[in-house]
A and B are shown apart, each in its own frame.
Chain A
Amino acid sequence: DQQVKQNSPSLSVQEGRISILNCDYTNSMFDYFLWYKKYPAEGPTFLISISSIKDKNEDGRFTVFLNKSAKHLSLHIVPSQPGDSAVYFCAARAGGTSYGKLTFGQGTILTVHP
């Protein structure tokens, strides 16, 4: 039962353009969402998060959008840089559970070409 889905296994973007990574979820109890970035042979690194009471959160080049009615969130990276090439994981947390108990998607491999 995949409660968090990232349907695009990979995404290729030109440097300077926008990267849009998508994530869908099915559990209505999720109330906090996070994006993590992972380089090979390293652990995931926190990128940005959003609470379910908001529909947008921005941090520099990274913006996360949340559409609760569609149970969909997206990560926008503008402008994309070659150093952004990594695996991006969407994660969600259900209300009433431990704060570190996250449900992860399968990941999307982002490649930014110079």
Chain B
Amino acid sequence: NAGVMQNPRHLVRRRGQEARLRCSPMKGHSHVYWYRQLPEEGLKFMVYLQKENIIDESGMPKERFSAEFPKEGPSILRIQQVVRGDSAAYFCASSPRQTENEKLFFGSGTQLSVL
């Protein structure tokens, strides 16, 4: 059973370009979460999605960031017009259900570097 798959592992963009980060949850998991880790900091929650629905986007920056989890295919985190401050590791996590003791399974992350 493959784990959470994220690609690309490394992504380099110039300021003003768009970044698209992809996440395929573990088989059987319908809940997807995106987290961002800035240098020297812990992971920070960005957004929680289920298939075709955004459940909680309270951690998403108001502009330039969007996320989707379509009926078919991976979840996508999209960053438009990237700036240097967007450079970070972006982690996706998934879980099969919503229960109190549910734990998240994380992917290996995408390291975004903005030049």
Contacts and interface: CB of A to CB of B under 8 A. Distances in A.
Given A49-B101, A99-B98, A106-B40, A43 B45 contact: no
Given A99-B95, A105-B42, A106-B41, A42 B104 contact: no
Given A43-B4, A44-B43, A105-B42, A100 B104 contact: yes
Contact of A43 (B59, B91, B95, B99): B91
B108 A41 contact: yes
Interface residues of B, number: 31
Contacts, number: 69
A51 B103 contact: no
Given A46-B104, A49-B101, A99-B102, A104 B48 contact: no
A9 B63 CA distance: 32
Nearest to A6: B42
Given A44-B91, A51-B101, A103 B45 contact: yes
A45 B57 CA distance: 23
Contacts of B64: none
A110 B6 CA distance: 26
27 contacts: A6-B42, A34-B103, A43-B91, A43-B106, A43-B107, A44-B43, A45-B106, A49-B103, A51-B101, A89-B42, A89-B43, A91-B42, A98-B48, A98-B55, A98-B56, A99-B98, A99-B99, A99-B102, A100-B95, A100-B98, A100-B102, A101-B56, A101-B59, A102-B104, A103-B45, A104-B44, A106-B40
Q: Nearest 8 CB-CB pairs, A to B?
A: A43-B106, A104-B42, A46-B103, A104-B43, A100-B33, A106-B42, A99-B98, A44-B106
Interface of A: 4, 6, 32, 34, 36, 41-46, 49, 51, 89, 91, 97-107
